[in-house]
Amino acid sequence: MKPSRTRYRVVTLAIGLAVLSYVQRVAISGAAVPIAHDLHLSKQQMGLVFGAFGVAYALFEVPMGLAGDRLGVRRALAQIVLAWSAFTAITGAAWNATSLIAIRFLFGAGEAGCFPNLTRMLSAWLPPRERVTAQAVMWACTRWGGAITPPLTLLCIRWLGWRWAFVCFASLGLVWCAVFLAWFKDDPGQHRSVNAGERELLTSSSVLARRGSDQSWVKLLLTPQVAALGLQYFCFSYVWYFYVTWLPTYLREGRGQSAEHAAFLAVLPLLFGGFGSLISGIVSRVLPRRAIAFSGFLLTAVLLFAFVRIPWAGPAMVVMGLASFASDLTMPISWDLCVEIGGAYTATVAATMNMLGNLAGFVAPVVFPDPYDGGCGGDLRSVLALSRSGRCAKEPRTQGACGHGYRRDQCLIEMAAVTTTRGKHGNQPEWPHSSDHWRQSRTGRGYGESIVGSWCADRAGRA
């Protein structure tokens, strides 16, 4: 019997929610300037607003992932969408910095667990050969949804004001939730639209979803594979969060762009990143996933190094877009690895990886609230040293030593030293307001974190 195609409707539901989550998440960056103006917020306070989401999202990731594994995706996702939609709407009621930080923290807590549970949903509803492709399409659509959010937010703000714009975004979540609860089933075998052919096709997925259910999820999370997977995702997210937090503000105040031009340029990293995810889903069928991930991080590092040395806004943003393309080559691979490593605890492993990634969402805009502040200093020797560290850490020959005879702790210390190196200009008390000042600073934080990620992707790829 020819298999039915109900699973593709599930993929459509997953893509819809993924896009919606990014639209509601990224909207705050497009509204940052009018929010800061109306509520009299400083750059540091806006950094806390951005970071509040990241830290709450990270803290509640594992509990919500574990809830999806134990209670079922249908129940977990319904609660997640209702919670985050409520706090998206309440964002429009903020009256000062404290209230906005608290609301964004609760919004982050509400949205936590979304993508880990979507990953578990796809693992149960898709055969293995279709999983990476579905992840690639889903992440491409989320990037493109985030890409259209800055101009969409600007349009809504001009029509309705920023407060009512958030209410409009929240209503979309309620519509999705109603459709999801009326149609979706956790078990494909219980869905009336699934025929015998499709049930047989999904048999291996059901076995994988139950694999390891008798083992401790805590022990699973403490394995080296999960640690490497989470660390590379932290490095990836550290760079990526700049695109969805400070980038529109940086373009307006650091590169002197108008609101309309800044909104247009801010689209490029997410637009290019979507194509990176799609390409990853295609090439992963013929190339080793580890090689794709390692190359993606390395290329990201080189392009971000070039970005900070280009004085013109347009060409610089094209290069940043290409860096996003390269880093997003790793996205479908990372999320599919969660299925292969996690088994019955797919959502929990995915939540752990995403938790570490979103800790970067807290670190990036809060610990370094000035995006023009010093970074790796543009020293190519740092990149070469970091690359050597990654090579040393790949294959241990003896316990406590790396493949080249270096001790593992020496390799990791070297990586930490490189990625935390500050620029020669140190901390700057005020944001520069001209592209000349930006060119003079010659900073480059971001490429170091990316190249550390390539080492961790290599380790996780051995799972």
259-270 pLDDT, tens digit each: 788 878 888 998
What would the pLDDT profile of 216-237 be if each residue is shown by its tens digit? Answer: 788 888 888 898 898 889 888 8
- How does residue 31 score in pLDDT terms, banded at 50, 70 and 90? confident
Angle at 208 between CA 202 and CA 210, to 5 degrees: 110
Judged by DSSP in three states, 419 sits in helix
- How does residue 361 score in pLDDT terms, banded at 50, 70 and 90? low
Pick 288 or 375 by higher pLDDT.
288
- How does residue 433 score in pLDDT terms, banded at 50, 70 and 90? very low
**pLDDT over 90 percentage in the chain:** 22
Residue 150: half-sphere exposure toward Cβ, Cα within 13 Å: 28
In CATH, what class is 6-186+214-379+421-460? mainly alpha
- How does residue 152 score in pLDDT terms, banded at 50, 70 and 90? confident
For residue 310, report the phi and psi dihedrals to the nearest 5 degrees. -105, 115
Domain ranges of the chain: 6-186+214-379+421-460
What would the pLDDT profile of 268-317 be if each residue is shown by its tens digit? Answer: 998 899 999 999 988 888 888 888 888 999 999 899 889 888 888 889 99
- Amino acid at site 88: T
CA distance 188 to 77: 17
Residues in Cβ contact with 6 at an 8 Å cutoff, skipping those fewer than 6 apart = 188, 191, 193, 194, 198
Q: Which helix (H) or strand (E) holds 2?
A: none
Alpha-carbon Rg for the chain in angstroms: 22
pLDDT at 403: 37
Token pair of 217 as six digits: 């999820």
How confident is the model over 419-444, as a mean pLDDT? Answer: 37
Pick 20 or 250 by higher pLDDT.
20
